[in-house]
Structure 1
Amino acid sequence: MGGIKSEICNGISTNIWEWCVEYKSWIICSHIPGKTNFLADSASRRFNDKHEWKLDENIFGVICKIFGLPSIDLFAPRLNKQVKRFCSWKPDPEAEHLDVFSINWAQFELVYIFPPFSLIARCLQKVRAEKAKGWMVVPLWKSQPWMGMLVRMLIREPRLITRKKNILRLPISSEEHPIMKHTKLMACLLSGKECETEEFLKRVQNSSWRPGNQEQESSTDRISKDGHNTPTVEQVIIFLSETFCRGVGYECINTARAALSSLGIVVDGRRAGDHPLVVRLLKGVFNMRPAKPRYIETWDVQPVLEKLRSMCPLHSLFLKDLTLKLVMLLALTQAARVQTLHLLILKDIIIGKDFRCMWLAGNIKQCRPKFNVQFIKLKAYEKDKNLCAFETLKIYIRRTKHIRSNVDDESKLFISFIKPHKSAAKDTISRWIKSVLHMSGVDTKKFTPGSVRSAAASKAKAMTVPVAHIMAKAGWARCAISLPDLYIQA
């Protein structure tokens, strides 16, 4: 006998048991033959043949010309094999081997590996353990844990497979793999032998050398040809001018000037970056290529507010929707950075009748000697409770109370809504904001989560909120020109 932890099923079982007791009835379990139990077994009996995907033969031929023709296809039945010899995961009269992980891959000169995506990491480990050699087709998923291992096992430059129609399809039909609509594939020549991988890495490093050079050039030779640490002002000007001619902006050249000063380079008794000629050059660069804000326009806050207003009532929302709503409301009402949201804690929270104050676990970016933000204050918004951050926060704290005991840092305000629950990282909070923007119709390819700050400031200015109040809330200096010039946008 087994058991489950479902309260719903437990309630149904209790009701059935009480009914049997009341009517003095007995429930007897009896066997139902499989041929008559077709309704319950219908899902397991349904044949699914949509797992034998095949790479386009023309693309396979092109890659073979680059990496070589494989001796055997390790993951293929006879329907989608690419070479004569193949290994099948099910009994096949033409297959040379079954269960590819039970054989030694090093016995083959070159293997072709196109495994199910869930087995990529296991395949890489087997290639390394048995010091085998072959080329593998994998999706270009840069954030996967196995990507680092794959890069360290390369012995040739990987080849990106151009996305086109029917690049990955079923052999018995023209149906294309659904993942190819948003994923690219790449072919990689791999080896489990360290000597071959080290040789490739050394070749990659040497490719940055100029023809005829025997060692890496020093970057300081651009400003000091005679080997001394005291270049002339002419050499500094030439270095900055060459940087300007590469098409970079004022910020990049100013960073280069600051780097020269930080290295302790002194020219004519002055730090290199403070020399009058260098300062004059930077003024000319600014006039020709002035610094520009990241966004020349911003998105409309109204559609986002409408989306947040539609996420109601609060007590019936899923934890995911409640979390997304609270994060976005705090970002908008406080003109807060992701860092600020990440530092919010529940420890020593101050609770009033119509307000709540939450402390920050550290200093935020805009903190300075005369401006040190230690907490944020949320006030109740009686005009529209569906847009009230105060009410949303109360419901969120109540909903997450029972799962905070298992969180690594239960003092943090935001925790992940997916098990196992953990305190939310800055990247996670940033992704939440991006999700809300995307659901509201904002172009997330153009606007990042950081754009919420400027959008909130612009909306507040459009609603005739005093600029001084906006700057105080966002933490900008009163003498700064960044708010009207860089943040208040159309």
Structure 2
Amino acid sequence: MQDNRLEAEAAGAGPQEGEVCEENELHLGRFFQAGPCGFQDCFYGIISCGGVLAFAESHLKTISAVHIKGDLNIRADFLSRQSEWQLNPKIFFKITALWGTLQVDLFATRHNRQVKDFLSLNPADRPLAVDALSQTSKWDLAYAFPPLALIPSVIRKIKEDRATVILIAPFWPRRARFSCLRTMSLTDPWVLPEIQDLLSQGLVLHPDVRNLYLTAWLLKG
């Protein structure tokens, strides 16, 4: 779960001014001390230093940092939590009806878990265990909807543990991992319907579901 809450926007008093809005005062201080490159360390690469500078150079005359109180940063807070997108429960139910009852949700929080037992990166969520990638699979059938960047690591983990997992991942044939998904699949994958509320974080809906081509894969390591 990503707790850093960042909203970067090209806005402000005029068309040539930009603001980087940040909820965390420590990170904001690092911005003033280290400049925009400070973001690369503070936010674990989520914001590309080169991308920020390139955009600023071509579009902005000045760039500044502004603190936003947490209770005013609701939408940005939701969108920054990349591991907290929840699959529509009705779609999840169809998956379980198709392939069986799931015993554990491997990448979840207490807010978006799909089954009673879940694993999380945050011990405060009181999960069954912390960090799915550091655990040895002991479940007959597990559910995994990880952040996109973790999908290759999840595939390797499924292989290592010889686990059986329903993985939610994009149907992107040109990616290197696609051949592994095909090889490990026990049956044909199910391309999820492109409904507006397929993914949500509380009241916030994912803005670009159609380009994800999310698919349910029944995998065996």
Range into which the TM-score falls when normalised by the shorter chain: 0.5 to 0.7
Out of 23, 27, 32, the position equivalent to 1:40 is 32
The corresponding residue for 2:144 is: 113
Secondary structure of the structure 1 residue equivalent to 2:169: strand
The answer to whether the Cα contact below 8 Å between 2:89 and 2:114 also exists between their aligned partners in 1 is: yes
Residues 34 and 63 (structure 1), Cα distance of their counterparts in 2 relative to 1, 3 Å cut? closer
Secondary structure of the structure 2 residue equivalent to 1:187: strand
- Distance in 2 between the 1:132 and 1:59 partners? 23
1:138 is aligned to 2:169: yes
Q: Which contiguous aligned blocks of 4+ residues in structure 1 show a shift greater than 3 angstroms?
A: 33-39, 41-49
The corresponding residue for 1:326 is: none
Displacement of 1:94 in angstroms is 2.5
Displacement of 1:169 in angstroms is 1.1
Secondary structure of the structure 2 residue equivalent to 1:112: strand
Per the normalisation by structure 2, the TM-score is: 0.64
Out of 170, 185, 191, the position equivalent to 1:160 is 191
Deviations for 1:141-162, whole angstroms, at most 9, x for unmatched residues? 1111100001000112211111
Higher relative contact order (CA 8 A, sep 6+): 2
Letter in 1 for 2:219: L
Letter in 2 for 1:84: K
The corresponding residue for 1:76 is: 108
The corresponding residue for 1:185 is: 214
- Distance in 2 between the 1:99 and 1:130 partners? 15
Q: Which has the higher helix share?
A: 1
Residues 34 and 150 (structure 1), Cα distance of their counterparts in 2 relative to 1, 3 Å cut? closer
- Distance in 2 between the 1:74 and 1:191 partners? 15
The answer to whether the Cα contact below 8 Å between 1:77 and 1:92 also exists between their aligned partners in 2 is: no
- Distance in 1 between the 2:188 and 2:161 partners? 22
In the TM superposition, what are the counterparts of 1:304-319 in structure 2 within 5 Å? none
Unaligned runs of 5+ in 1: 1-32, 193-490
1:64 is aligned to 2:56: no
- Distance in 2 between the 1:144 and 1:82 partners? 28
Residues 40 and 84 (structure 1), Cα distance of their counterparts in 2 relative to 1, 3 Å cut? same
The answer to whether the Cα contact below 8 Å between 2:110 and 2:125 also exists between their aligned partners in 1 is: no
Name the larger-Rg structure: 1
In the TM superposition, what are the counterparts of 1:18-37 in structure 2 within 5 Å? 37=29
Residues 163 and 36 (structure 1), Cα distance of their counterparts in 2 relative to 1, 3 Å cut? closer
Q: Which has the higher strand share?
A: 2
1:90 is aligned to 2:153: no
Residues 92 and 142 (structure 1), Cα distance of their counterparts in 2 relative to 1, 3 Å cut? same
Higher mean alpha-carbon deviation, 87-96 vs 75-84, is at 87-96
Secondary structure of the structure 2 residue equivalent to 1:49: helix
Deviations for 1:81-116, whole angstroms, at most 9, x for unmatched residues? 0000000112224311101111101x1111001111
Secondary structure of the structure 1 residue equivalent to 2:93: helix
Displacement of 1:69 in angstroms is 1.4
Residues 79 and 34 (structure 1), Cα distance of their counterparts in 2 relative to 1, 3 Å cut? closer
Residues 125 and 34 (structure 1), Cα distance of their counterparts in 2 relative to 1, 3 Å cut? closer
Deviations for 1:268-306, whole angstroms, at most 9, x for unmatched residues? xxxxxxxxxxxxxxxxxxxxxxxxxxxxxxxxxxxxxxx
The answer to whether the Cα contact below 8 Å between 2:141 and 2:166 also exists between their aligned partners in 1 is: yes
Deviations for 1:38-61, whole angstroms, at most 9, x for unmatched residues? 873897687633221100000000
Letter in 2 for 1:96: L
In the TM superposition, what are the counterparts of 1:201-280 in structure 2 within 5 Å? none
Residues 115 and 34 (structure 1), Cα distance of their counterparts in 2 relative to 1, 3 Å cut? closer
Secondary structure of the structure 2 residue equivalent to 1:138: strand
- Distance in 2 between the 1:55 and 1:36 partners? 33
- Distance in 2 between the 1:139 and 1:35 partners? 32
The corresponding residue for 1:323 is: none
- Distance in 2 between the 1:149 and 1:117 partners? 15
The corresponding residue for 1:49 is: 78
1:104 is aligned to 2:96: no
- Distance in 1 between the 2:181 and 2:212 partners? 18
The answer to whether the Cα contact below 8 Å between 2:102 and 2:142 also exists between their aligned partners in 1 is: yes
| RMSD after superposition | 2.6
- Distance in 1 between the 2:174 and 2:27 partners? 47
Displacement of 1:181 in angstroms is 3.4
Letter in 1 for 2:214: L
Percent of aligned pairs with the same amino acid:
27
Per the normalisation by structure 1, the TM-score is: 0.30
Letter in 2 for 1:134: V
Out of 132, 136, 157, the position equivalent to 1:126 is 157
